[in-house]
Structure 1
């Protein structure tokens, strides 16, 4: 425990204070955070749109530029993980439970009640639902994760700096990042990670509970969710104890196998031809809408500004708040890859996988809805299982989905304990097991308390508010990274 930094103690104190306030005054907490979230969405919507679009442009530029030849490590280093395992790990950490939770529900919601420009229930709304699901979970998200991870990996493995968010700003602030300024930055990153993952764990527990209730009649209540989180906590702590190259690696590969099995079954037993046609057309629409959607701010009356705030602005802030966690984890597993390999893989592969996933599940949900079964009457966590009821092999589909949610649940928590351990031990590549276990228990405890007081919405609000200051840090990270890459390329060229 001698490696533990002040970041650990400060963040633990902030987490305790926040959770205490949320538990004792849940209504006031949700109201205050909700008001701040609304202010941020209304006043800074244009800023989030410009920032995320700029990150996409910068990511593509870096991948195609001469900087792409720089290796994230020494010149002769090979990647730590094979490409399939690497893709499985970054995908599991970056999306995980969310894809299963929203895979059918989000496109259906756009189709039936929340289409940005089309009449609800229309064919255009059906297509828009899929197009905007790709948009919200695709290129922009992975560009943001990619740049954060690239900065961390470059400074950690090429320049041998600690694996901390603050270390990426050294080209701008020098040794000041080792003082109070750096500690504030790292505390913000750890705080966002704890609550971001705790919220995800809460969603996972609710959906597993919903699936078990749907299949076996298990009560949907806090007691059931407590037991689910307790079992999963034991499992992910065992995985965390075994280390990165065993636990998370094997779990991530398991995730991909289960996800592929579930996807293939839905493609086969669902409306296969419709799925293929919808994917082809809506992915083309996504490419066509990309620039227009990237800069949409709905400034005038009648522009459906409420939809933009509730969906796109919400998602952009949500993903930014996850950037410290996902960026640090992707950086840690990417040692030995070139910048071009890294950025190309992070941008293209997950975007394609996400789009195929949403096309399969979103199209199937829309088709079931059109057949006369109203899926919109069910809570979000139950849409998937009620959709399965209308397909052949429904029991197998539901069981595989529950297993996949559980596996994603364990992987996300395991990855987060590793990242939190790094951040609270001066960037150690092998955090002590005691620290990882402490963070693992803390995450599960926060999730349980939030579920008990019904505070998931309030904590989502908190994360979105925290995304605003971290977005400024991201801008500084981009400037510092560009400056450092330019210097590194000059050094490489002089050696030739």
Structure 2
């Protein structure tokens, strides 16, 4: 039970104390022995990705298929709440919060960078820096940001919403596993261990993305102003964003987080429309259509492709790595999606999470990635003309990439801002800095949204599923997440935590499978109980 008095009033003492001790110990380890920690976790994550790649592929695809089954089955009509209960948030607010917490900042970062890396070479293209590699680059990027990622988020979200809002249990991971392990074990240390694991992984996942995001924001500021942020100013930036996130999370989901999410969606649409209008519009529209078609045709094959013959590192550090990275975010995003989805049916939740956000992601990737590939194509043609006109030979005649690809190879965080420079050059309009400023602002607000929703989730789990954790707990966890990010950025330990998070993805994947089994058992029990009640009612009606 949650504490009701003392310093830890309103939270579960076991979860709070143990998870805080683990986090502090890990931060100290990474700060003092950063290089050694990086080597240890890098080697361990490499071994896990190599030996358990098959598990990630089967698990992610199996979860997706099961969710699609639930969407079209009789279970789809079940309300995540009392029968007849209405959704807590409007559809627009719900979708905005869902997308902001789930994909927003990642898409802003990788929508240009990932297609560039695949354009430079991927297993599905026999050539590099070519039309063939450009087409396969978009198909692979669509796949990595498609339904599998959202399925990994949606599985814990659906389980948490069902057991909490329909069965009246606390909003915690342990509640979803009760049908398999029983109430007694889940109320004891076994249940606490599940919640502690999720709290620690969630806190580090948010802090790591926080730190990496500050690095990208620093690149944006340098691009716009020429001023390079030192470590001290980066720390101040973390502190400022943490304070805004804490104020937002204390104000509650229906105020701060909802308003920020709506703002994120509005600003995202403005930037998206600008890139589509002032960039290579025709190329972008064709890329969106072609990429979506390629995804639909190849999704099954790519889902189960394990590179058996070559067993190269590419898939381990792209597809398998992505599935593992999504898993580290799944408990956090899943808990938040569940928190905002009360009153919706299973069918509405699955459709809303698997279809609408995925289609928007495709439009976003097709727009930014397509624009970048178009400019790369133009740079390649220009280089070929230069080779012919000047008679260049040897290394000088070799095309190693255009401006955006070269910038991506030098510093991945600069790819987005280099794209804006190319749009300005091609359109003849002085909009590069404006787009860069809007993107930097969007980075900040996306990080605030991720930080405050993540803080809410961690404090909810620490309060053993209480959806309204005490304000002091929200503030404390908000400060802790910021402190983790600052400490790791200072010590250079961000990479260590990132690889360590990938190691934690394996047990989380196992937990997701257990959650799916527990949910299906509960759904079958509810269906049998409903059928028995209907039969009894029919018999009474016949007798009367």
Match for residue 513 of structure 2 among 467, 471, 475: 475
What corresponds to 1:313 in structure 2?
A: 320
What corresponds to 1:180 in structure 2?
A: 189
What corresponds to 1:100 in structure 2?
A: 108
Q: Would the aligned equivalents of 1:115 and 1:129 in 2 still touch at CA under 8 Å?
A: no
What corresponds to 2:221 in structure 1?
A: 212
Query: What is the distance in 1 between the residues matched to 2:124 and 2:227?
Result: 37
Query: What is the distance in 2 between the residues matched to 1:409 and 1:238?
Result: 14
SS of 1:162 mapped into structure 2: coil
Query: What is the distance in 2 between the residues matched to 1:337 and 1:321?
Result: 25
Match for residue 60 of structure 2 among 52, 64, 73: 52
Query: What is the distance in 2 between the residues matched to 1:221 and 1:371?
Result: 36
Query: What is the distance in 2 between the residues matched to 1:386 and 1:35?
Result: 33
What corresponds to 1:374 in structure 2?
A: 403
Residue deviations 1:197-216, cap 9 Å, x none?
11111121111111011001
Q: Would the aligned equivalents of 2:403 and 2:418 in 1 still touch at CA under 8 Å?
A: no
Q: Would the aligned equivalents of 1:197 and 1:416 in 2 still touch at CA under 8 Å?
A: yes
Query: What is the distance in 1 between the residues matched to 2:282 and 2:514?
Result: 47
What corresponds to 1:447 in structure 2?
A: 485
Query: What is the distance in 2 between the residues matched to 1:198 and 1:187?
Result: 17
Q: Would the aligned equivalents of 1:116 and 1:307 in 2 still touch at CA under 8 Å?
A: no
What corresponds to 2:364 in structure 1?
A: 357
Match for residue 460 of structure 1 among 498, 502, 513: 498
Say yes or no: does 1:8 pair with 2:3: no
What corresponds to 2:239 in structure 1?
A: 230
Query: How far is the alpha carbon of 1:495 from its aligned partner?
Result: 4.3
Match for residue 446 of structure 2 among 398, 408, 416: 408
Match for residue 327 of structure 1 among 334, 337, 356: 334
Query: How far is the alpha carbon of 1:187 from its aligned partner?
Result: 0.6
Structure 1 stretches lacking a partner, 5+ long: none
Query: How far is the alpha carbon of 1:377 from its aligned partner?
Result: 2.8
Q: Would the aligned equivalents of 1:199 and 1:460 in 2 still touch at CA under 8 Å?
A: yes
Q: Would the aligned equivalents of 1:91 and 1:350 in 2 still touch at CA under 8 Å?
A: yes
TM-score (norm 2): 0.89
What corresponds to 2:417 in structure 1?
A: 385
Q: Would the aligned equivalents of 2:38 and 2:493 in 1 still touch at CA under 8 Å?
A: yes
Say yes or no: does 1:201 pair with 2:210: yes
Q: Would the aligned equivalents of 1:258 and 1:404 in 2 still touch at CA under 8 Å?
A: yes
CA 1:16–1:116: 2 relative to 1, 3 Å = farther
Match for residue 74 of structure 1 among 66, 79, 82: 82
Structure number with greater Rg is 2
Q: Would the aligned equivalents of 1:92 and 1:408 in 2 still touch at CA under 8 Å?
A: yes
What corresponds to 2:428 in structure 1?
A: none
TM-score (norm 1): 0.98
Greater shift in the superposed pair: 222-231 or 68-77: 222-231
Greater shift in the superposed pair: 283-292 or 370-379: 370-379
State the aligned residue count. 494
Query: How far is the alpha carbon of 1:218 from its aligned partner?
Result: 2.0
Say yes or no: does 1:39 pair with 2:71: no
SS of 1:335 mapped into structure 2: coil
Say yes or no: does 1:258 pair with 2:296: no
What corresponds to 1:267 in structure 2?
A: 276
SS of 1:389 mapped into structure 2: helix
SS of 1:38 mapped into structure 2: helix
What corresponds to 2:94 in structure 1?
A: 86
CA 1:452–1:113: 2 relative to 1, 3 Å = farther
Query: What is the distance in 1 between the residues matched to 2:99 and 2:118?
Result: 24
Residue deviations 1:434-454, cap 9 Å, x none?
101111111111111111122
Q: Would the aligned equivalents of 2:37 and 2:496 in 1 still touch at CA under 8 Å?
A: yes
SS of 2:52 mapped into structure 1: helix
Match for residue 136 of structure 2 among 128, 144, 166: 128
Q: Over aligned residues, Cα RMSD in angstroms?
A: 1.2
Query: What is the distance in 2 between the residues matched to 1:444 and 1:376?
Result: 32
Residue deviations 1:1-21, cap 9 Å, x none?
422111111111000011100
Residue deviations 1:123-168, cap 9 Å, x none?
1111111111111111001111111100000000000001100110
Match for residue 475 of structure 2 among 426, 433, 437: 437
What corresponds to 1:109 in structure 2?
A: 117
Query: What is the distance in 1 between the residues matched to 2:30 and 2:122?
Result: 30
SS of 1:103 mapped into structure 2: helix
Query: How far is the alpha carbon of 1:489 from its aligned partner?
Result: 2.3
